[in-house]
Structure 1
Amino acid sequence: MIRSFMDSNVWDSEFGFINQQEHFEKVWKDVENTTRLYMKDYTEHIRSNYESEDINQAILKHFKTLIDKHETVHEKYYELFNMEAMEEYEEDVDGFKGSILSRQCTVIQKTLNSKSEALRDWKFKFKISTPQELYDTFYNIMTFAEEYEEKCKDLADETGLVEFDRLSDTGLDKLEEDGCYLQGVIGTGILSTVLNALYPHRFPGQFKQGLYALYFLSERKTIDMGSGSSEFLMVKDDMKSKTGIIETEHNYYYPYHVFVLYTQKIHNLINEYIYEHYGIRFPTEYRYVLTNDFYLFVTMCNKESIATLSGNDDINKFNQSV
């Protein structure tokens, strides 16, 4: 998408397509085919990290490493954002902003400390956001997630998972209605990072890297996009990098519920491939830890292209997602 089209009919039309099931199915055909092509390289990449092991042992070790790392993250985020703690923060929203978010919440703390020039505006908006509105947004996120988890449990199969067939089934378009975003400050990058840490079986993470990955997995096509650009990227045609290149980022306006359905389907492809070839399944309770890793692999494979897209001037801005 192209940022200068934001107030145009083209912009509205493109978002209309992105939210349509028929359009999703068109794009998914390309994403599915390309994802399958990455499977062998992904498993070979895993093997290369454990050179002394056969591939089955390498995969098992890699899976354990992913889960162990995630458990460390989960413990930290649960300590910060469990509902009992959230209730206590209501008495000191200044401390919630100044300590919990700014110093202890890793995704925000790292963004605040980043040297990337691209995050300067975000830092300013965070600074002027009131403690109350930040607290309210996070309270809404945690409340939504807890209620969503209970709803999904009622719909889950024997594995504890819910498999969505259609965009309208996910129920995640209600995040905006329920006040889970704070414009310009708490976007899908932060929201998905926190929710993925707490509920890795329900909410995918790696939103920024995931959208870059989907750009390549969709073969960079521009299906139904009137601007001739990819739905997964945002062309910032009103801004040039220090090298004089128009910057292109992930589409930070991309609907999370659409991202979730792509990611669910990609997870199933990866899991099926690894089971079919190596007899190993990734634990379902961590399913989106696996897709996080896969998205990072796809972006690693395309790092030169991403550097060009983002302006060849500031690798730090790729590493943060707000």
Structure 2
Amino acid sequence: MAKALEQPVPGITVGHALLARANGAAQPVDRIVHDGDTINIAADGNFGVRLLGVDAPEVSFELPRNPNFPDFPKGFVDIGDPAWTTFLTDPFAKGYQDLELRSALRAHLLTRLGPQTAANHAAHAAPATRALKDMIKLDITEQGLDETTFKIRLAFAHEILDRYGRLLCYVNRDQKQPPRPPAYNERLLAAGHVVPYFIWPNVDPFVRQQDRVADAVPAPGDVRALAESGALGRARQAVRQARDAGLGLWDHAGPLMLLPFELRFLAQRRAPDRYLIDLSDNAKELLHPQSYFRVPNPEDRLFVNAEHAPLFGAKGWSVPPM
């Protein structure tokens, strides 16, 4: 499917558009040009949307190349493929591109890796995918609509696009009359189908955002108010309840072994590069990106992109070198 936004090369995002439409018909240039610096357009293609605050087990991903495994399939490969079993049994085997990890993180990962890791990941990915499909289909039915008339509401936080050109959103059915159900992001967390993946400053789209991202930096030791209120507070509580109940990927008999972002950085051969705040503590320091596992519960992890770390340092937080 054609994309309205895409990244032809890393770091470059481009869009594709048409002249604005009215009732499906293209509008004349005289109508779509508002003034010398403003025009109205319609997207030419589809938007990819990445749900904020959640991370689902991967259905497929690209395997790293290794001359010792020349038969590894290329492109996005189903996690159930035997090649993934080989890779996740030992992603540090000879022949892969070097991945420089601290010894403590490597030791942590080794407790989660093995012949069953890929099958475990695939087993949890399927219900998560099915759950989101079912939620959307149920909303369509409940509203008495069909796939041609159903509308989606997107709520944005501070950042609009990710590095792949996808929209970063809280996603829900479009509904004018209250009460509106929780966003799909929150519903998936409550059902235990996804892992929380909170990345500052995209933690709550339903409050007035500061004019500058620097103004959103909490003071050292004052993160509890952020952690326990709004969308972030509701999401953290939902995750704790799902885990206690053994729902979804928290299944007490067979929980998710490897987190989705761990699978990605192992496959991409790129060490974690987001700092971390421990939301369970009156934190005054950012933890090193490779120390994320020292915060045991994922709902207590608030990740901070490296480019935002200096803002925290300027506010008085302790920031370790990368």
TM-score range, shorter chain: 0.3 to 0.5
TM-score (norm 1): 0.34
Rg (Cα) greater in structure: 2
Q: Which structure shows the higher helix fraction?
A: 1
TM-score (norm 2): 0.34
Higher relative contact order (CA 8 A, sep 6+): 1
